[in-house]
Structure 1
Amino acid sequence: MTWTLTAVLLAGSTYQLWQVFRSAHLTDRVNNTLHALMNTLMAAMLWNLAPSTLLAQIGLLAGAALWFIIQAVARPEYKLLCAGTQGRLKCAYHALTMAGAALMIAMMTHQGHSTGAGQAAMPMPASHHGMTTTPHTPTTTGTTTTAPALGLTPGMLLTLLFATAALVFLVLLLRNRTTIAPHHPGPPRRSTRTEHALEALGATTMALMFATTA
Structure 2
Amino acid sequence: MISESVVQVFTIPAITWTFTAVLLLSGSYHLLHAARSHQLTDRVNKSLHGFMNLLMVAMLWNLASSTMLAQIAVLAGAALWFVIQAVARPEFKILCAGRQGRLKCVYHSITMAGAALMVAMMAPSTSAGSGPVPAPTNVSHGHHAMAPASQTQAAQGAADTGISHSPDLALLLTALFGVAAVVFLVLLLRGRTTRASTRNQVNPRHFGRTEHSLEALGAAAMALMFATMTA
TM-score category of the 2 structures, normalised to the smaller one = 0.7 to 0.9
8 Å Cα contact 2:71-2:116 kept in structure 1: yes
CA-CA distance at 1:191 after TM superposition: 2.2
| Cα pair 2:79 2:112 within 8 Å, conserved | yes
The one of 10, 21, 35 aligned to 2:35:
21
How many Å separate the matches in 2 of 1:181 and 1:57? 45
CA distance in 1, matches of 2:20, 2:44: 23
Give the structure with the larger helix fraction.
Answer: 2
Q: Does 1:43 align with 2:60?
A: no
Residue 48 of structure 2 aligns with which residue?
Answer: 34
Provide the aligned C-alpha RMSD in A. Answer: 1.8
Runs of 4+ that moved beyond 6 A: none
Q: How far off is 1:87 after superposition?
A: 0.3
**Cα 1:94/1:184, change in 2 over 3 Å:** farther
- 2: CA distance, partners of 1:184 / 1:158: 40
Q: 1:59 aligns with which of 50, 62, 73?
A: 73
2:130 paired residue among 111, 114, 118: 118
Question: Could you say which residue in structure 2 is the equivalent of 1:71?
Answer: 85
Which ranges in structure 1 are unaligned for 5 or more consecutive residues? 120-150
Q: Which residue pairs with 1:200 in the alignment?
A: 216
Distance 2:169 2:21 in 1: 26
The question of 1:160 aligning with 2:172 is answered no
Number of the residue aligned with 1:185: 202
2:226 to 207, 210, 213: 210
Distance 1:24 1:12 in 2: 20
- Structure 1 residue 81 and structure 2 residue 106: aligned? no
1:103 pairs with 117, 127, 134, which one?
117
DSSP 3-state at the match of 1:153? helix
TM-score by length of 1: 0.80
Counterpart amino acid of 1:79?
K
Question: SS state of the match for residue 81, structure 1?
Answer: coil
The change in CA–CA distance for 1:47 and 1:198 in structure 2 (over 3 A counts) is same
Deviations 1:18-64 (A, max 9, x none): 11122121000000000000000001100000110010000000000
The alignment's TM-score, normalised by the length of structure 2, stands at 0.74
CA distance in structure 2 between the aligned counterparts of 1:206 and 1:50, rounded to whole angstroms: 20
Query: What is the aligned partner in structure 2 of residue 134 from structure 1?
Result: none
Equivalent position of 1:124 in the other structure:
none
Distance, in Å, in 1 between the alignment partners of 2:218 and 2:28 is 13
Match runs of 1:136-151 below 5 Å: none
Q: How far apart are residue 184 of structure 1 and its match?
A: 5.7
Structure having the higher Rg: 2
Q: Which runs of 5+ in 2 are unaligned?
A: 1-14, 132-165
Contact 2:173–2:223, Cα closer than 8 Å, also in 1: yes
Bigger RCO (CA 8 Å, 6+ sep): 2
Change (3 A) 1:5 1:103: same
Percent pairwise identity? 63
Q: 1:61 to 1:183 in 2, by over 3 A?
A: farther
Cα separation, 2, equivalents of 1:181 and 1:17? 31
When structure 1 is superposed on structure 2, of 71-80 and 17-26 the one drifting more is 17-26
1:160-194 deviation line (CA, Å, top 9, x unaligned): 100000000000000000013468635x4332000
